[in-house]
Amino acid sequence: MYPELTATINSLPISEISSDRKTNLQQIIDYINDKMFKTEPVKLNFICTHNSRRSQFAQVWAHIAAYQNNIEVETFSGGVEVTAFNENAVKTLENEGFSISKKGKVNPHYHLSFSSKVDSISAYSKIFDDKTNPATGFAAIMTCSDADENCPFIPGAIARIPLLYDDPKEFDNTSLMAEKYKERSRQIATEMFYIFSNIDAQ
């Protein structure tokens, strides 16, 4: 793991997560534990409207948290429409310690490297049922209220869990933009590490 990213992870305030939020996160912990107890694949698809900010953060940080805790989990993300992985979100993750390369101009594909020893994470905006995402046997984790309300049914999902986050987009082009993107990234990272540090069936 790259040193700057390790420093970011070590600074996450996991002990400060509220009891109400832990109750919400427990649904995901229970889902993962149950799948692992049954020795079934664990597939998490984080879904938000545009698959540009919150769902991307969640996929990336869940991947890292699972890797750090030696838990076999596949993480995905998608939206209800295609836009692009937001450049402010990409820059935020770069500042957190990821090494990121970009290919293409319209809805670019990014590769987020976190260690010289393992494959990078591929990320770009896509529909939740994109061919690169699982068609069946996954948990749909809804990271924004719009997607949660506008997609009452996710084909192929065996569980649907709301895990809502405020949108940092509200602060685009303001003096608080960088601060709020970092705040959301760190919140999601903290909760993903809480989830994967509480998995029993390892």
Query: For every residue of the chain, which 3-state class applies, written as one string?
Result: CCHHHHHHHHCCCHHHCCHHHHHHHHHHHHHHHHHHHCCCCCEEEEECCCCCCHHHHHHHHHHHHHHHCCCCCEEEEEECCCCCCCHHHHHHHHHHCCEEEEECCCCCEEEEECCCCCCCEEECCCECCCCCCCCCCEEEEECCHHHHHHCCCCCCEEEEEECCCCCHHHHCCCCCHHHHHHHHHHHHHHHHHHHHCCCCCC
Residue 72 counted as domain residue = yes
Q: Is the dihedral of CA 152, 20, 182, 100 positive or negative?
A: negative
* Identity of the residue numbered 12: L
Residue 202 counted as domain residue = no
pTM: 0.96
Domain span at residue 17? 3-196
Each residue's pLDDT tens digit, 118-145: 999 999 999 999 999 999 999 999 998 7
* Number of compact structural domains in the chain: 1
What was the pLDDT predicted at 31? Answer: 98
With a CB cutoff of 8 Å and minimum separation 6, the contacts of 143 are 46, 47, 48, 54, 55, 58, 163, 164, 165
What's the pLDDT band for 65 if we cut at 50, 70, 90? very high
Residue 82 counted as domain residue = yes
What's the pLDDT band for 8 if we cut at 50, 70, 90? very high
Residue 133 counted as domain residue = yes
What's the pLDDT band for 146 if we cut at 50, 70, 90? confident
pLDDT, the chain, mean: 95
pLDDT (average), residues 79-102: 97
Is the model's pLDDT at 68 over the cut of 60? yes
The CATH code of the domain that includes 69 is: 3.40.50.2300
Residue 161 counted as domain residue = yes
Residue 201 counted as domain residue = no
What's the pLDDT band for 150 if we cut at 50, 70, 90? low
What was the pLDDT predicted at 153? Answer: 76
> For residues 26, 118, 97 and 89, what is the CA-based torsion angle, rounded to 10 degrees?
-60
Is the model's pLDDT at 202 over the cut of 60? no
Each residue's pLDDT tens digit, 168-201: 999 999 999 999 999 999 999 999 999 999 999 5
What was the pLDDT predicted at 96? Answer: 98
